[in-house]
Amino acid sequence: MSRATSAVASRRRRKKVLDRAKGYRGRKHSSFRQAKEQLLKSDTYAYRDRRNRKRDFRRLWIVRINAAARQEGMTYGEFMHGLRVAGVELDRKVLADVAVRDPETFRRFATRAREAAAA
């Protein structure tokens, strides 16, 4: 009986790792051991930064809303509280987009928020 080897599977596994490591610097794109280690790190960074991206965008939206609210003479907290009391259910992403693209609509939101907070 002939001896079975795992050569095909091993080669396929190594090829898959090296294909994913294309574009890496130095031996990390050509040496299997270095490529494998770098991919472990890269996958860790990618996983972490997918979560960080959500944080970063939320921070950006808050900064934009705050800037637009201050032009209307309110703070971010006063504006958001007023919207909540007024029953306006728009998320920060949409509010930030409105603040940047349509200042007149944002001004109307600010007026509603101011009236609701005062009442």
By three-state DSSP, how is residue 79 classified?
helix
Domain region containing 104: 9-118
How many whole angstroms separate alpha carbon 86 and alpha carbon 95?
Answer: 15
User: Domain total for the chain?
Assistant: 1
Tokens of 45: 């960074």
Contact call for residues 58 and 92 (beta carbons, < 8 A): yes
Q: Is residue 100 part of a domain?
A: yes
CATH number at residue 44: 1.10.1900.20
Quick count: other Cβ atoms within 10 Å of Cβ 21? 21
pTM: 0.81
Residue 1 included in any domain: no
With pLDDT > 70 as the criterion, what percentage of the chain qualifies? 100
**Distance between CA atoms of residues 65 and 114, nearest Å:** 15
- Residue-wise pLDDT tens digits, 82-96: 999 999 999 999 999
- Tens of pLDDT, residues 25-38: 999 999 999 999 99
